[in-house]
Chain A
């Protein structure tokens, strides 16, 4: 059974940093692009970043460029999102997803809430 389990969310002060993780199981993690998507409380979805199987290509939405860093550890079946210089508008549930634009089945984690507040 495929599972994606996010962790690391919490309350952080503006300007602070946080590292969110996603533990993957049930599939060959190193064979898939992985992504982060976020959702502010009561709001819609925003695609944050994609990372290629070997980490050699990463795409970021402009609003997080320079502050967010996506990485992965294929040996540990883990995906990471390092979030720096946090702003109030980064408050959101962060979802890890194995997303495909095509027929490969999609999977989403349950999300982890990051709250930026003083």
Chain B
């Protein structure tokens, strides 16, 4: 199975400051169709996961533009340009290229 490794696992951030989460995969996530199926989810406390970004860098409809995804191959990043209080939660990367689809361990974002 593809192992997804996130860092850091805990990210205290000051309101208004940027935040960055790294996600690395144990093998390339480039699919045979040329797409890279790397997804970022946000899970706020007590809520179901919510997709933020799909195929590395495409923002889901309704997701604020302070969230951005980047990367390629095996190395990916989710950035929040200026953290707001509502961004508190756990963020997961997930690969949908190789079955079984697998998640990173999660990064807990909290306000300092």
Which A positions have Cβ atoms within 8 angstroms of B? 37, 44-47, 59, 61-62, 95, 99-103, 105-106, 108-111
The answer to whether A110 touches B48, judged by C-beta atoms less than 8 angstroms apart, is yes
The answer to whether B103 touches A44, judged by C-beta atoms less than 8 angstroms apart, is yes
Q: How far is B58's CA from A22's CA once the two chains are assembled, in angstroms? A: 28
Instruction: Produce 1/0 per residue, B74-111, CB < 8 A to A.
Output: 00000000000000000010101001111111100000
The answer to whether A106 touches B51, judged by C-beta atoms less than 8 angstroms apart, is yes
The answer to whether A105 touches B49, judged by C-beta atoms less than 8 angstroms apart, is no
Min C-beta distance of B40 to chain A, whole Å? 12
Note all chain A residues with C-beta closer than 8 A to B60: 105-106
Min C-beta distance of A30 to chain B, whole Å? 22
Among A59, A100, A110, the residue within 8 A (CB) of B99 is A59
**B39 beta carbon closer than 8 Å to chain A:** yes
Note all chain A residues with C-beta closer than 8 A to B48: 95, 108-111
Chain A, residue nearest B55 (CB) = A102
Q: What are 27 A-B pairs with beta-carbon distances under 8 A?
A: A37-B49, A44-B103, A44-B104, A44-B105, A44-B106, A45-B41, A45-B43, A45-B106, A47-B94, A47-B102, A47-B103, A59-B99, A59-B100, A62-B1, A95-B48, A99-B51, A101-B35, A101-B54, A101-B55, A102-B55, A103-B54, A106-B50, A106-B51, A108-B48, A109-B48, A110-B48, A111-B48
- 13-64 of chain B: CB within 8 A of chain A: 35, 37, 39, 41, 43, 48-51, 54-55, 58, 60-61
Given contacts A47-B100, A47-B102, A105-B61, 10 further A-B contacts (CB under 8 A): A37-B49, A47-B101, A47-B103, A95-B48, A101-B37, A101-B39, A103-B54, A106-B60, A108-B49, A109-B48
Which B positions have Cβ atoms within 8 angstroms of A? 1, 35, 37, 39, 41, 43, 48-51, 54-55, 58, 60-61, 92, 94, 96, 99-106
Chain B, residue nearest A106 (CB) = B51
Note all chain A residues with C-beta closer than 8 A to B35: 101-102
Q: How far is B55's CA from A46's CA once the two chains are assembled, in angstroms? A: 19
